[in-house]
Structure 1
Amino acid sequence: MEKTAQTPAAKSTPLGKKIWACAIVFGLIGQIAWVVENMFFAKFGQDLFDTRGNLYFTVTTLMVILSAVTATATTIFAGGLIDKTGKRKPFITVGYVLWGVTIMLFAAIPIDFSDDRSWGIITVLVVLDCVMTFFGSTANDAAFNTWVADVTDVSNRGKVNTILSVMPVIATVLVFGIGMFTYDSGATVTNELGEVIKVPIFERDPLNIKLFFIIMGIFPMIGGLLSFFMMKDAPGIIKNSNPNYLKETFYGFRPSVVKENKMMYVTLGTVCLLGIAQQIFMSYLINFIEKTLGINNYILPLAVIIVVGAVITGVLGVFFDKCGRKHFYYPLLAILVVGAIVVYCMKFMDSSAYLPILIVGGSVLLGAILSVSGALTASFQDYIPKGAEGRFQGVRMCFTVLIPMALGIGIAQAVGVNSLDAHSAGQMQPPFELFLAAAIVVACAAIPLFWVRKDSDRLRSELMNRKAAAEEDAAAEEQLPSESTAD
């Protein structure tokens, strides 16, 4: 049978070394900053209020929800502005630099303070987190993600987005590696009985913690400077010429637009459920490993999990574009459900089994969630109408950040709010039930995923035919000058 543009094995459009370099470098640097925000800001807040009752839950909840609102609102307005100007690079360059500056400001927050200053410290944490999120969402969520949609097409989008989905785990290794020698330096001591004891943050050297935030801020600042020299906007960007900026900013939320692009919203609904499941445990993951599982030296096993998970994701990304993404959706979803249940069942196992199960199960679980997230992100980009790439980034943020963070942290509160009382030392201990709740939410994603999978063949054929037609038109235009010269 002769291959046509409609076949899943259609030839992938080469991107070129420069585009790949920009995607990897700025994708990685952006994720380094987001790992600091998503994991270390939460850890920092929890460490500051670890022995101050349920304030550690309060600060985590406020930071997660308000930063999610900030990220979504920023991306909505920045996305509209990006489409109106037809520019991506300036927002990335300036945004990354200011992103780094705000991360550095966390070094100024005191770690030893009296109880009557607690709410003042919480306020500073939340405000700085939101300011940092504003610049990060403008530069990365709105501008960089729009640039990725510009430079890719249906034939290579699965591979690119799957590779980009690995960036958070590579960033996690880098951030935690640096954190081990800075933020976590002196975080544990061994007593005379040979027991490893956690040292409260206010008894540690504050210079190590300040150094961590300064180093982390340098990364996005360098990224902004590099983007000025390395990055170019894609040719042929269609500007939004409508003079009503505010009306066009909320383009993706119009009922008529939702109706015209309903499968895009079904795809985002699937991503949303996966995001909710992830957010149920993500903000408490480090402390779950340290305090619930009792694994103090978590850097090495975490690095193994991340490397293996990244390899799995990278390999699957190649097959997504060759074989079609739809064949991988349900197997990956099943792995996620089973993996989360296995983590919950560790509650009934001997502690000697924790480390091997964490490494093996965590590697497979991470590879699955990154792969399916990358595949669905590529599908979302496939559905975006030409010329509206920026405006739909705000819609994406509602489904991938705002709703997941708000509902995820709410479910975590309901599941784990009493865990403090169960800890003999009076410190928080995130419960195993977080992962059982996550498994239930992931299972619910099978419903919208059915429709995404069902529509995938039609979408791919339509886009490949459109791509083939565009290539034919381009080839015809190239021949016109030579024909007229011959005449």
Structure 2
Amino acid sequence: MQETPPNQLTKRNWAVMFALALTGQIAWAVENSWFNTFVFDTITPDPRPIAWMVAASAVTATLTTLIMGTLSDRTRTRWGKRRPYILLGYILWGLSTILFPTVAYIKITLLAVVMVVIADSVMTFFGSTANDAAFNAWTVDVATSETRGRVEGVLNLSVFLAQIVAMVAAGMLIDAFGYFIFFYALGAIVILVGFLGGLFLQEPDGSQEEPVSRPPFWKEFADLFSINTFKENRMLFILLLFIMISSIGMQVSFPYMIVYLENFVGVTKTEFSIIGGAVMLGSGALAIPFGIAADRWRKRLIIAIGIIISSLGGIVFSMVRSLPLLALSGLLWQAFSVAAGIASVAWLKDLLPEESRGKFLGIRMIFWIAIPMVIGPAIGSWLIRSYGIPTHLAGQEGFIPVPIIFQVGSLITLLSLIPLALTRKQKTVQDERD
């Protein structure tokens, strides 16, 4: 098989990138949204298991990306550097997705809760190995500074399309066929696309050669947490702090959003699909020009505007009840959050050390996934249990989420403006004009 020239993107690689990105993002979007409603609808209405599942999944994703990302940086095989992890990882990711809903057969609630947390974590391990660690590092490997923007465009387009599929198709399919058929179909698609994409993926020259001399694996892994790593990448860590706080704010409410809309507002899954589809389409239309503006003008100013509008949108979202107003406020909340995220992640990737991209993408996971998804849902669960509406579902006691989760989450998101302001003290090649 012919290898791609170093840091160049062929038509085949563009096609593979889009297919793997889209499929992976659909799987993550479903996991972030419908796994939570699955637990509420089929196991227990208690919000704590959702918080536990989200937290366990986040920690698993982060540790997996750190370890497997570092390992893939060091790997050289006849199949290439990243391909083995992508090919096998996607296949096992799909299989674990197919098996996930079987936990509903367990009739002992406590055991079912334990097993659903384990099942989600296993699925997350394979997904993070394939997508977060190997695939994302591969997209950095094959891109240059001249193509980085287009690569980010493809990756973020896949996010938008995946969210549309997860919001529009998923709710309707679950209403029509139930959770089991839906998860079976999703898992089969992940297996098929992962298998074909892994086979046709091309890696840069050198992916089969012996790696340059590097320290032992665990020493290199431990170096991620050294003071020197922080000092040498100070700007990167300040930006990660911004991402962490803004993500915590989003995670206070996001895991419970569909449960809130169904059980507090009275929106059906199909109606939510319509609202979600409109919000995602609008988000794409707003986020792309927003990202272009961030490239041309001051990144931190554009990001700050996005954070402020998103937070206001989240607060308004908690106050309205009609479908049109939910869609409009949801658009402000999500679109400008996504737009700020696009600009900040593109900025972050420009700061990644060239020889350690895989492991530094793992560091990003600590601030972007692990900490926010442990702290945010825990805050949301506490708010729901403290202020939510008591309910019974299939003999189980629980609480219906209430608007305060969106209001508190939005206020926390606004706190991310503090580390964003600190970036003014740092100068980098990629920094915009001040």
Q: What TM-score do you get using the length of structure 2 for normalisation?
A: 0.88
Q: Is the 8 A contact 1:159 1:318 kept in 2?
A: no
Q: Is the 8 A contact 2:293 2:302 kept in 1?
A: no
Alignment of 1:118 onto 2:109:
yes
Distance 1:163 1:319, change over 3 A: farther
Q: Is the 8 A contact 2:168 2:274 kept in 1?
A: no
**Partners of 1:15 and 1:102 in 2: how far apart?**
31
Partner of 1:443: 414
Distance 1:424 1:232, change over 3 A: closer
**Partners of 1:453 and 1:89 in 2: how far apart?**
39
* Aligned partner (choices 62, 65, 72) of residue 72 of structure 1: 62
1:156 to partner: Cα distance: 4.2
Q: Is the 8 A contact 1:287 1:429 kept in 2?
A: yes
1:437-467 CA distances to partner (integer Å, 9 max, x unpaired)? 11111111111112335546643489xxxxx
Q: Is the 8 A contact 1:107 1:211 kept in 2?
A: no
Q: Compare 390-399 and 221-230 and name the one that shifted more.
A: 221-230
Partner of 1:142: 133
* Aligned partner (choices 430, 435, 439) of residue 401 of structure 2: 430
1:337 to partner: Cα distance: 1.9
Residue identity opposite 1:226 in structure 2: L
Partner of 2:311: 337
**Partners of 1:272 and 1:70 in 2: how far apart?**
17
Partner of 1:483: none
Partner of 2:423: 452
1:263 to partner: Cα distance: 0.8
> Number of aligned pairs?
416
Residue identity opposite 1:62 in structure 2: W
Distance 1:111 1:180, change over 3 A: farther
Partner of 1:32: 26
Partner of 2:234: 262
Alignment of 1:85 onto 2:75:
yes
Distance 1:111 1:285, change over 3 A: farther
Residue identity opposite 1:39 in structure 2: S
1:103-122 CA distances to partner (integer Å, 9 max, x unpaired)? 00124233583xxx111211
**Partners of 1:454 and 1:152 in 2: how far apart?**
29
Structure 1: segments with no counterpart, 5+ residues: 1-12, 187-207, 347-352, 463-487
Alignment of 1:171 onto 2:159:
no
* Aligned partner (choices 254, 274, 284) of residue 300 of structure 1: 274
Say which one has the larger Rg.
Answer: 1
Distance 1:14 1:289, change over 3 A: farther
Alignment of 1:409 onto 2:377:
yes
Distance 1:327 1:373, change over 3 A: same
CA root-mean-square deviation: 2.6
Distance 1:382 1:399, change over 3 A: same
1:315 to partner: Cα distance: 2.7
Identity %: 29
Distance 1:162 1:288, change over 3 A: farther
1:364 to partner: Cα distance: 2.5
Distance 1:107 1:330, change over 3 A: closer
User: Which structure 1 residue ranges, 4+ long, deviate > 6 Å from structure 2?
Assistant: none
1:225 to partner: Cα distance: 1.3
**SS of residue in 2 equivalent to 1:183:** helix
**Partners of 2:174 and 2:289 in 1: how far apart?**
33
Q: Is the 8 A contact 2:388 2:402 kept in 1?
A: no
Distance 1:163 1:228, change over 3 A: closer
Pairing 1:215-364 to 2, within 5 Å after superposition: 215-235=185-205, 239=211, 241-296=213-268, 297-323=271-297, 325-346=299-320, 354-364=322-332
Distance 1:271 1:408, change over 3 A: same
Structure 2: segments with no counterpart, 5+ residues: 1-6
Partner of 2:182: 212
Residue identity opposite 2:199 in structure 1: F
